[in-house]
Structure 1
Amino acid sequence: MPVSSTPNSTSFESSQQESQSSLKASAAYFESKGTLAQRIDGFAPRSQQQDMASAVEQCIESQATLLVEAGTGTGKTFAYLLPALLSGKKVVISTGSKALQDQLFQKDLPTVQAAIDYAMPVALLKGRSNYLCIERVNSFAHRSGGQSPQVLAELVKIKAWSAGNRSGDISELGPIAERADIFPLITSTNDNCLGRECANYDDCYLVKARSRAMEAQLVVVNHHLFMADMVVKESGFGELIPEAEVYLFDEAHQLPDIAIQYFGQSLSSRQILDLCNDVELAYRTELYDMAQLAKAAKKLSLSVRDFRVAFEGERDRGDLRPLFKRPKFAQQLPSIREDMGFLQSVLKLALSRCELGDSCYERLCKFISLFDKIVQVNASGNSYWYETTRIHFTLHLTPLNVSERFDQELEQRKAAWIFTSATLAVNGGFEHFQNQLGLASATTLLLDSPFDYAQQSMFCVPRYLPQLRDPKIDQKLADMLLPVIEANQGRCFFLCTSHSMTQKMAAVLREKSNFTILVQGEAAKGELLESFIEDGNAILVATSSFWEGVDVRGQALSCVIIDKLPFSAPDDPMLVAKSEDCKMRGGDPFAQVYLPEAAIALKQGVGRLIRDHTDRGVVIVCDPRMVHRDYGELFVASLPPMKRTRDLQQLIKFIHESD
């Protein structure tokens, strides 16, 4: 069994020696004649899975902290689920996404429950925005004038659906759930929720979901909700998820960036505009003698929309410090602050007359305080940045380091903490992940994939690659790689590191090949994957969200091409914050921040290829830096042990041998 030992961590090896006299109880369930093999069709024992189950069980018993990198095919979900259920302790499992959360709760968890006859209650809990808000649906229905026929038709379907629905989880709405336009109309936010003052509080889907979570023995949440809960508990205003004796994080490599977001603060145009809409609603329903309210709300709304226009031509994300020095921003900031203050003074006159008006006043006071804090961009200890969408902007204040804060959380909650992913380690070590979350004393376990990568796959960095800044790189890569793609009969993911490269490669591949070209952004992610699998010979050109969390087994995907090493942009706000903290601690940001982040991202991209024992395929990375730069060795050492070549003809030969 491969074991990782880092300079600042406790090796699993010593703890394993203490228990060699007998096989861990949970690991016995995974044997060839064990409970899982007897009760789950197609279950096959894997030594890595048994090792992980034993480690998780021991961690739970000793209330320790464990980091596990479990290679693709290990079966890590069952390896942590079974000992967690057998422990008899209160368990919270946090996943990296809502999609994985649903899969775990609806598929994997019931399978293990049935196999071991587990009868204790379990619950699924998501964030507020995932549940239908009865109050807002009813309110929207009464003031739906001016909405498009499509939105009104969707409202009718939603009301009919909610009449017989127990959970109120809007992911069950199917295609409607992918339409962002209607979300704010049927869900609530922390800002506009009326809480116990709501007339529908007893029937509230979110309240019921939280109640089920409090009573359950095992609760499945996601990282965003978990971090939100930490912030709420820190503020002293209650809790979102229950206290537990075991905390388990799947896809844990995502946790540091999410933690940074939640330990920071942000203010969005959507929040302010929602507030303005609620002020107008309060005026029309109860405060109709205060026309000044509607005027003040409209004035603030216009200021915020004008401020969004100022971001046109800027990057989607960036540093606020240089931005706020520009005249067009510097002039509008005082205007927004003045309009917020004016609305605050008018709302103050209406206090105690209307619950919604009082709620708006409290929200606005918080917004003003946060706005004043964010515009002080020269204060030390934080990163100040923005991000924009098609119609909104968000201003962020992010702490440079969260390791001390997260470590404090572990100290305060006396429980077992388990972090697992297929990509936690860099070059065989966990230091990068440990340093980000303050987990220096954690036990670490590195488990190789049970797949035979040397036989199932081949890795190639081709010779004679075009320069990365070549203006015709898309054309040259297409000419170079099309013979490989054609030999593979399509069945290819072409993963790019930018949206612009995604569009360029899609265009040139459509021009030069006869395969079906699917492109991220032209349809929903689920639809694209379904079309890719159904076609059987397609090429999917994509970025970001397709680098991880995508599982395509079999011949439909047998070639993964990556345009270049996935280094984050130097001005990416999250990386800037980490880099500044690294400098303050006397470190090297490139070696300690940018390289490890890119190595983990590359592992995720390469991991799309082999998803089963019968899969075969090739990976091509079109970046000469993997060969010509010293740090290329780190990337190679972090990848599975695939056959390697620089000759595309050898790659084509391997493909033909696989047919």
Structure 2
Amino acid sequence: MSIVDWPEDFEADAASAESRPARREAGHLGAEVGAAFAQDGVLSQAAEQFREREGQTQMALAVARAIDHGGVLVVEAGTGVGKTFSYLVPALLSGERVLLSTATKALQDQLFGRDLPRLVEALGLPLRTALLKGRASYLCLHRLDQARHDASLPERSSLRTLAKIEQWSKATRTGDLAELPGLDERSPLIPLVTSTRENCLGVQCPQFKPCHVNQARREAMAADIVVINHHLFFADLAVRESGMAELLPSVRVVVFDEAHQLNETGVQFLGVQLGSGQALDFARDMLAAGLQHARGLVDWQQLVAATERAARELRLAVGKQWPGAKLRWAGPAPEGVPADAWQEALDALKHACAEAASGLDTVSELSPDFVRLHERAEQLAERAARFARPCAPESVRWVDVGTQLRLVESPLDIAEAVRTRVLKRGQGDAQEQGRAWVFTSATLGDDPKLRWFTEPCGLEDAEVLRVNSPFDYARQAALYVPRDFPKPNDPAHSVRVARLAAQGAAILGGRTLVLTTTLRALRTIGDAIRQHFEPMEAARRSEVLVQGELPKRVLMERFREGAGHGRAGCVLVASASFWEGFDAPGDALQLVVIDKLPFPPPNDPLVEARSQRLESQGRSAFGEYSLPEAAVALKQGAGRLIRRETDRGVLAICDTRLATMGYGRRLLAALPPMRRLEDEGAFEAALIELTR
């Protein structure tokens, strides 16, 4: 048994869930599901304002058929369909063991804390549910104890945060850091009180028995319904570390919600990464353990100095670069980096880690910390050696540049891994063939076969269902594409976007979300909107919130509060993660402004490699990759506006290409069918109408 294996009683726990309802005969499940979704069915008692929706019932019956017969179902369910209930109800009624996976911890918590308990109670089923997250979500009691004695804690505020965590640790049952109010997800303390696969001591840990990660896994093995996330699923697929290897074989129904993120999440874990920060963290942990458990037995200072020096030399080898730059790496070294210096730096890191492994091996019997550190040293040395060799076929390499370096070798997509390691096609396993797989999201493509999603995910043979949103978009929403506007690459473009957003927010009293495609535009637009509001009296001035200035959770809560307490409403300027997963229903949000069409960045190494593969196959990289990517992202951004049947609002897309280029028609067709506003006067009139 390696020191990260599960204890033997985990498998036994799986058999203890005997209260599971008996499995239905084929065909019976559909009838029960249909009855549940009827106007006077059990769902009308479980959900406020429930009403029978044709699309919701259609999706639920399709899920029931997939569970009855096995196989793969892909469902694009537009906003407002109620897809969560559409897959939960047949899954719960089936009597099968179910695994639910989401893209975000927020939806994970919502499913486990709100939707599942409500439905389990309404359906009257004796089911056990469990929530399972990755290690970084749980307090590590051993590392908390180490942090108490860490003399290098960054600052006084960290000491206060550590005291809060210590106090909370005595009362929490789950150890899930999401329970701790006021903890900033960006806190530098979090990595010091949580474990990683690299530094977990497993069964050798002095805190193994009360370990929160192991407790969560035990509960998952004993549950009927287990809620995980995509990161956890693919982390296990890559390194078989999170316990899914034991859990998945006992499950017959697997549902991936927010499935549009599967491919990008998967490639993160199915590749190989090496960071200079990883080496520095290893050196810090080695020094701490060496001085605590084996002072004087090994020259720890020398080993640590060599490792740190090698990590820093690797960073220095790439010279000055823009923070956030991605360097292509097609040959022996990344672009612009001298090959000899690069190879020397990799060799030095490999040698330093190998020397550290030798030193740790001499003291491995003194503490389990040294066993784990030895494994980490060997892994770092192996990865340095791998990156000194040519890139694997059908993969792409690049270097992420920041304060530290991150070397990445990634597959172009997850198709092969899904076919062979998830669905296990062609392997003749009857249990695998009988399993039901459901993949669903509000946006999975812009063509009837949803190829944007199914092709890179290896699901070309899946049954595909598209269920339209029940919202009356022509009545509830309007689309404005300004014609008299700078081109997207014009330096004046961001300032004009800010002016349009500020004018709209002034009419509405805030209630405005600005979505940008770059961090540079984020800062420019945020600053310009603030300057626009400066001359106004305080009572009329909207608060301008900019992503990055506060934790995401705080920004979302403050925006949803909107006007009140003597303040005007809010303008939120955001990028990246706010294009999806941000929900502000009702009057809190009535104007969404998108600065540019969200095409994938052409100079991104992964984007480049995917485009080149399509071109080599005689296909159009723009038509079959860039355009569908932009269409899906645009649908996600536009989807922030209308979240309920009673919502009303305006979407402004400040990119003239939508109106002037031929491909604009395809992108417009991907958007909900909103009424069009032809000029600035109509735009302002529509906003004024919203205030009445």
Matched, 1:341 2:354: yes
Deviation, 1:490, is: 2.9
Shift in CA distance, 386/99, structure 1 to aligned 2, threshold 3 Å: farther
Measured at CA, do residues 611 and 345 of structure 1 come closer, stay the same or move farther in structure 2, by a change above 3 Å? same
Q: 1:207 to 1:146 in 2, by over 3 A?
A: closer
Map of 1:534 onto structure 2: 561
Q: Which residue is 2:566 aligned to? A: none
Q: What is the distance in 2 between the residues matched to 1:467 and 1:481?
A: 17
| Post-superposition offset of 1:592 | 1.5
Match of 1:573 in 2: 605
Q: Residue 517 and residue 581 in structure 1: after superposition, are their counterparts in 2 closer, same or farther (change >3 A)? A: same
Q: What is the aligned partner in structure 2 of residue 178 from structure 1?
A: 185
Q: CA deviation at 1:372?
A: 1.5
* 1:395-440 Cα deviation digits (max 9, x unpaired): 1110134312211221363310001100012144411211111111
Q: Which amino acid aligns with 1:525?
A: K
Deviates more, 1:309-318 or 1:245-254: 309-318
> 1:630 is matched by which residue type in structure 2?
G
Deviations 1:507-536 (Å, cap 9, x if unpaired)? 111112343211111111121122222233
- Cα pair distance change 1:175/1:240, threshold 3 Å: farther
CA drift of 1:259 comes to: 1.2
Among 600, 607, 619, the residue aligned to 2:632: 600
In the alignment, the residues of structure 2 paired with residue 509 and residue 180 of structure 1 have an alpha-carbon distance, to the nearest angstrom, of 29
Q: Deviations over 1:310-331 (max 9, x none)?
A: 5653351413416365136455
The answer to whether 1:473 aligns with 2:523 is: no
- Matched to 1:438, the amino acid is G
SS at match of 1:106: helix
Write the letter of the residue equivalent to 1:316. Answer: G
Where does residue 321 of structure 2 map in the other structure?
313
Matched, 1:261 2:261: no
Query: Contact 2:217/2:243 (CA < 8 Å) preserved in 1?
Result: no
Residue number among 312, 326, 336 corresponding to 2:337 in the alignment:
326
Contact 1:233 1:239 in 2 (8 A): no
**Contact 1:227 1:259 survives alignment (8 Å):** yes
Letter in 1 for 2:572: L
Match of 1:272 in 2: 279
How far is the alpha carbon of 1:475 from its aligned partner? 2.7
The one-letter code of the counterpart of 2:217 is: R
Is residue 2:663 matched to residue 1:631?
yes
Aligned partner of 1:393 in structure 2 is 405
Aligned 8 A contact 1:562 1:622 in 2: yes
Moved more, 259-268 or 444-453: 259-268
Change in CA separation of 1:298 and 1:21 when aligned onto 2, cut-off 3 Å: closer
Q: Aligned pair count? A: 640
Q: Who is 1:454 aligned against?
A: 474
Q: Mark the CA change 1:204 to 1:594 in structure 2 (over 3 Å): closer, same or farther.
A: same
Inter-CA distance 366–586: structure 2 relative to 1 (3 Å threshold): farther
- Asked whether 1:286 is paired with 2:293, we answer yes
Give the superposition deviation at 1:567: 0.9
Q: Quick check: 2:276–2:314 contact (8 Å CA) kept in 1?
A: no
- Give yes or no for contact 2:350–2:382 (8 Å, CA) kept in 1: no
Identify which of 90, 93, 97 aligns with 1:86: 93
Q: How far apart are residue 175 of structure 1 and its match? A: 2.1
Q: Does 1:370 align with 2:383?
A: yes
- Report the identity percentage: 37
Instruction: Report deviation, 1:485.
Output: 3.9
Cα shift readout 1:101-122 (whole Å, capped 9, x = no counterpart): 1111111111111111222111
Distance 1:65 1:268, change over 3 A: same
TM-score (normalised: structure 1): 0.92
Q: What one-letter code is carried by the residue in structure 1 that aligns with 2:280? A: L
Q: Classify the secondary structure of the residue corresponding to 1:539.
A: strand
Match of 2:512 in 1: 492
Instruction: Please say if 1:164 is aligned against 2:175.
Output: no
1:69 alignment partner in structure 2: 76
Pair 1:519 & 2:546 matched? yes
Q: Deviations over 1:452-490 (max 9, x none)?
A: 001001112111111122122223334455544433333
- Following TM superposition, by how much is the alpha carbon of 1:242 offset from its aligned partner in structure 2, in angstroms? 6.1
Q: CA separation of 1:647/1:553 partners in 2, compared to 1, >3 Å: closer, same or farther?
A: same
Residue of structure 2 equivalent to 1:226: 233
Q: How far 1:255 moved relative to its partner? A: 0.3
2:393 alignment partner in structure 1: 380
The residue number in structure 2 matching 1:214 is 221
Once the two structures are overlaid, the 10-residue window that deviates more, 303-312 or 63-72, is 303-312
Q: For 2:199, which of 192, 197, 213 is the aligned residue?
A: 192
Structural RMSD (CA): 2.5
SS of the residue corresponding to residue 423 of structure 1 reads: coil
CA contact (8 A) 2:76 2:443 kept: yes
Give the distance between the partners of 2:242 and 2:216, measured in 1 at CA: 22
TM-score calculated relative to the size of structure 2: 0.87
Residue 235 of structure 2 contacts residue 241 of structure 2 at CA under 8 Å; is this kept in 1? Answer: no
What are the equivalent positions in structure 2 for 1:10-49 lying under 5 Å apart?
Answer: 24-49=31-56
Structure 1 pair 267–237 and aligned structure 2 pair: CA distance change class (3 A): farther
Deviates more, 1:130-139 or 1:86-95: 130-139
Cα 1:432–1:341 change in 2 (3 A) is: same
CA contact (8 A) 1:497 1:566 kept: yes
- Return the alpha-carbon distance in structure 2 between the equivalents of residues 78 and 28 of structure 1: 14
Structure with bigger RCO (C-alpha 8 Å, 6+ apart): 1
Secondary structure of residue in 1 paired with 2:183: helix
Question: Hey, what's the Cα distance between the residues in 2 that align with 1:146 and 1:422?
Answer: 44
Q: Residue 597 of structure 1: CA displacement?
A: 1.1
Offset of residue 236 of structure 1 = 11
- In structure 2, the partner of 1:12 is none
**CA offset at residue 538 of structure 1?**
1.9
Instruction: Output one character per residue of 1:292-340: Cα deviation in whole Å (capped at 9) or x when no partner.
Output: 2331112212332454455653351413416365136455333323322
Contact 2:29 2:90 in 1 (8 A): no
Distance 2:606 2:34 in 1: 40
Match of residue 112 from structure 2: 105
CA distance in 2, matches of 1:348, 1:237: 31
Q: Given that residues 328 and 398 in structure 2 are in contact (C-alpha distance below 8 angstroms), is that contact kept between their aligned partners in structure 1? A: yes
Report the CA distance shift for 1:459/1:285 in structure 2 as closer, same or farther (over 3 A). same
Contact kept, 8 Å, 2:446 with 2:632, in 1: the verdict is yes
Q: Quick one: distance in 2 between partners of 1:630 and 1:479? A: 28
Distance 1:480 1:170, change over 3 A: closer
- What amino acid maps onto 1:544 in structure 2? A
